[in-house]
Amino acid sequence: MGTAKVTCARCAVGGERYVGTVKDVAIVGGGVVGCAIARELSRYRLDVCLFEREVEVGFGTSKANSGIIHAGHHTTPGTLKADLVWRGNRLWRDLSDDLGFGFLQNGDLTVAFNEEELQTIEEIEEIGVQRGVTGLELWGPDRIHRKEPNVSRDALGALLGPTAAVVNPYEACFALIDDAVDNGLDLRVGAGVDDIEVEGDHLVVFAEGDRTPVRAVINAAGLFADRVSRMVGLDDLVIGARRGEEYLLDRRLAGIVEHTIFPCPTPTSKGVLVIPTFDGTIMVGPTADPVDDKEDLSTTTEGGDQVFERARRLVPGISERDCIAEFAGLRAIAPDDDFVIGPTSVPGFFNVAGIQSPGLTAAPAIAELVVGLLTTSGLDLDPKPELVTPAPRPVRVSELTVPELEMLAFRDCRYAHVVCRCELVTEGEIADAIDRGARSLDGLKFRTRAGMGRCQGGFCTSRCMQLLADAQDVPLSDVTKRGPGSWIVREREEVV
């Protein structure tokens, strides 16, 4: 295994990438799980690459995640999910400190409306305590109404999980992958894996015409993990899709609740939640509907009606009128509803599949588990002596005070040039996001929030497109919403 210096455009320090003719590990799938694994592996002297079929990481199921870092008391005991969720919760905290992405420990509140539900939340508390979840508290109606005056007056009791938090799932993906790349990860986006072959003592990954020999493959392909596993002849993994619709509300409602509000869970679902997102907006959802088509990201009238009706039961002040955007995500579901993580009968091929809720929370714990699996399988994991210092969190002008902004704008006038007015995003932030790898309008949106506010890009879309087009030196017609096929405008065909 040789080494090559990879110069990082930002820090110019250069992470060391360990390059051999046969790579050590290929991760298939750049969702939050793949990103967390990539980041963990980038800490070792390994030659690692990650294949993502979308144009940027986190663009599949992860971007549609609710963003909740669960405390862990809601997860069914006796599952692999339950083993990883509390550890994941702890690790996210550290990751956010190390990598500087947003993490807000707002706590969650599971609300009971009748005697039966009161009993259920007591049982959940017990499960949590056994699992080591700290700080759980049962609240009576007075406490609920004092702390959360907008929660329904019909609430009889609630369970507080103070360690629950919220992140922006896409921001977390970008932070993880940026750090992995700085430390030598070979990131291949827009590179869907077409086939994997067993060749002697190693595997060969075929993607977009490239042939990549590797010692180990981590199948973190989410909804398509079954397809990837069939590539090496494993037919036993079946992944289904369960759709969740989420509805994002106007910033006007910011602060209506502080905690993430859960209804009392049923055996099959955590139910519809009222979520204060990291960015201060309110999101309601998700639904949980099994669907056959793994590309079916449609929202439905019934889904929306259900979400608002149920959200209103928890917080009566929530209304459809405040909806500014809706979206759907597909959870990857393995048949027994648990995570499927481990080696397979094909040497070097590992599944990290069926990662549904609380998959975001568990992701860093999953990454640790994968490192353990690779070690057990005989891969030599030798920590790098030195890691590249993580890049600072991108500036968010909307979070600055006027004097802070004044200083920043004095140094770089692009930070005084407002591009997105609803979310107050400046040209400086857009340029920084492009430097960090944004290559589509959605990539800009998820990195900077430009276009995510109440006018939904009505004002900034053309400006963001122009900045992307200028950076890539292409016409506006080559700028896409999220990769090939998602063109936004076309050129006029000149009639001579």
**Catalytic site residues?**
70
Among 206, 417, 437, 471, interactor with other proteins by CB under 8 A: 417
Q: Which stretch binds other proteins (CB under 8 A): 14-22, 144-152, 276-284, 452-460?
A: 452-460
Q: Which is nearer to other proteins, 164 or 438 (CB)?
A: 438
Question: φ, ψ for residue 146 (rounded to 5)?
Answer: -75, -45
3-state per-residue secondary structure call for 383-442? ECCCCCCCCCCCCCHHHCCHHHHHHHHHHCHHHHCEEECCCCEEHHHHHHHHHCCCCCHH
381 near other proteins (CB under 8 A): no
Q: Which is nearer to other proteins, 238 or 488 (CB)?
A: 488
Closest CA to 58 of 227, 174, 218, 188: 174
Closest CA to 423 of 323, 322, 279: 279
62 near other proteins (CB under 8 A): no
Helix (H, G, I), strand (E, B) or coil at 236: coil
Q: Which stretch binds other proteins (CB under 8 A): 141-149, 177-185, 345-353, 479-487?
A: 479-487
Q: Which is nearer to other proteins, 235 or 295 (CB)?
A: 295
Token pair in block for residue 320: 């459809």
Helix (H, G, I), strand (E, B) or coil at 67: coil
Q: Which is nearer to other proteins, 237 or 422 (CB)?
A: 422
490 near other proteins (CB under 8 A): yes
422 near other proteins (CB under 8 A): yes
Minimum separation from the CB atom of position 445 to other proteins (A): 12
The H-or-E segment that residue 367 falls in is helix 359-376
Among 126, 380, 406, 435, interactor with other proteins by CB under 8 A: 406
- Helices 427-435 and 441-448: crossing angle in degrees, nearest 10, is 110
Minimum separation from the CB atom of position 377 to other proteins (A): 37
324 near other proteins (CB under 8 A): yes
Cα–Cα distance measured from residue 106 to residue 275, given in angstroms and rounded to the nearest whole number? 10
Q: Which stretch binds other proteins (CB under 8 A): 10-18, 172-180, 203-211, 478-486?
A: 478-486
478 near other proteins (CB under 8 A): no
**Which amino acid would we find at residue 338?**
D
427 near other proteins (CB under 8 A): yes
Token pair in block for residue 222: 């989410």
Cα–Cα distance measured from residue 59 to residue 52, given in angstroms and rounded to the nearest whole number? 9
421 near other proteins (CB under 8 A): yes
Q: Which stretch binds other proteins (CB under 8 A): 108-116, 130-138, 244-252, 365-373?
A: 244-252
482 near other proteins (CB under 8 A): yes
Among 3, 76, 134, 298, interactor with other proteins by CB under 8 A: 298
Query: What part of residues 154-193 is at the interface with other proteins (CB under 8 A)?
Result: none
327 near other proteins (CB under 8 A): yes
Query: What part of residues 457-476 is at the interface with other proteins (CB under 8 A)?
Result: 457-459, 461-462, 476
248 near other proteins (CB under 8 A): yes
451 near other proteins (CB under 8 A): no
Question: φ, ψ for residue 52 (rounded to 5)?
Answer: -130, 130
Cα–Cα distance measured from residue 220 to residue 59, given in angstroms and rounded to the nearest whole number? 14
Among 209, 345, 491, 496, interactor with other proteins by CB under 8 A: 491
Concatenate the DSSP letters of all residues of 125-163 into one string: HHHHHHHT----EEE-HHHHHHH-TTS-TT--EEEEETT
Among 116, 142, 295, 473, interactor with other proteins by CB under 8 A: 295
254 near other proteins (CB under 8 A): no
Token pair in block for residue 416: 């005084």
Q: Which stretch binds other proteins (CB under 8 A): 18-26, 135-143, 178-186, 324-332?
A: 324-332
Please give the distance of CA 489 from its chain centroid, rounded to a whole number: 29
Helix (H, G, I), strand (E, B) or coil at 380: coil
Token pair in block for residue 193: 């894996």
Q: Which is nearer to other proteins, 138 or 455 (CB)?
A: 455
Location of structure tokens 């990883």: 84
Q: Which stretch binds other proteins (CB under 8 A): 44-52, 340-348, 362-370, 409-417?
A: 409-417
- Contacts (Cβ under 8 Å, ≥6 apart) of 113: 152, 154, 155, 156, 264, 313
Cα–Cα distance measured from residue 229 to residue 218, given in angstroms and rounded to the nearest whole number? 10
Minimum separation from the CB atom of position 142 to other proteins (A): 32
Closest CA to 77 of 126, 127, 136: 127
291 near other proteins (CB under 8 A): no
Among 235, 292, 345, 492, interactor with other proteins by CB under 8 A: 492
485 near other proteins (CB under 8 A): yes
Q: Which residues are at the interface with other proteins (CB under 8 A)? A: 247-248, 252, 295-301, 303-304, 320, 323-327, 402, 405-406, 409-410, 413-414, 416-418, 421-422, 424, 426-427, 454-459, 461-462, 476-477, 480-492
